[in-house]
Homo-oligomer: A and B are copies of this chain.
Amino acid sequence: MAQTPLAQDEFRPASTAGEARRLQILDIAARHFRTRGYAAVSMRDIATEAGMRTPSLYYHFPSKDDLVIAVMDRGIAVVRETVAAALDALPPDAGAKPRLVTALRAHLHALHSLSDYTSANVRIFGQLPEALRRANLPERRAYQAIWSELLAPTCAAEQSRLPERVAIFIGAMNATLEWVDPARTDLEALADHLAQVLLDRLLEDVGA
């Protein structure tokens, strides 16, 4: 009992060999969930790709539920930290619009090219049984808080519309997962286009 198990920092990766194995399994699971959905991915699939037999997986994660929850929570943590870091890098006097554009870019980056966790989260959230969805809600609310602050200046008149507006923005960004081919799309251009649609006026009042 010599070793004091120091409180694990969520994002200091792989301090021990066991931790590295756990992260490797999570990586594999996230990639499979992202591309094939929740129910279609079996514990056998994940174990095989990790080079082990199925029951060995249960040494690292006590159930499929625990495994998927770990992927889901990490998915939100990744995008939240990515966006927060990008905002922190801005000059402190940056206005509402550059802050929004910066956050939008960071979100798309986390979603499309940083890892499989955030995309897996967005893809399979709606497929999960309600108990698993509820487990991910605290993380999600913490992330929404960032966007509430960012979008508050666009809702000056009616703050009651703010939660709905947050949902519209996050929904529109996440929807790009459904149709963007990450290999063939310029993410910078996509971010600019989304910012234009969401923040600028699209139509001069030509017609009636």
Contact = CB atoms under 8 A, between A and B. Distances in A.
Nearest to A175: B171
B203 A126 contact: no
B39 A40 contact: yes
A6 interface: no
Contacts of A98: 207-208
A55 interface: no
Given A37-B126, A153-B206, A197 B168 contact: yes
Nearest to A164: B193
Contact of A39 (B37, B154, B194): B37
Interface residues of A, number: 46
Nearest to A91: B208
B206 A95 contact: yes
B199 A199 contact: no
A116 B125 CA distance: 19
A174 B40 CA distance: 23
Nearest to A167: B179
Interface in A22-45: 37-40
Contacts of A126: 37, 123, 178
B97 A205 contact: yes
Contact of A201 (B95, B99, B168, B201): B201
A39 to B, nearest CB: 3
A168 B193 CA distance: 9
Interface in A64-105: 93-100
7 contacts: A37-B39, A95-B208, A100-B203, A125-B178, A167-B176, A169-B197, A199-B203
Interface of A: 37-40, 93-100, 123, 125-127, 129, 153-154, 161, 164-165, 167-169, 171-172, 174-176, 178-179, 190, 193-194, 197-203, 205-208
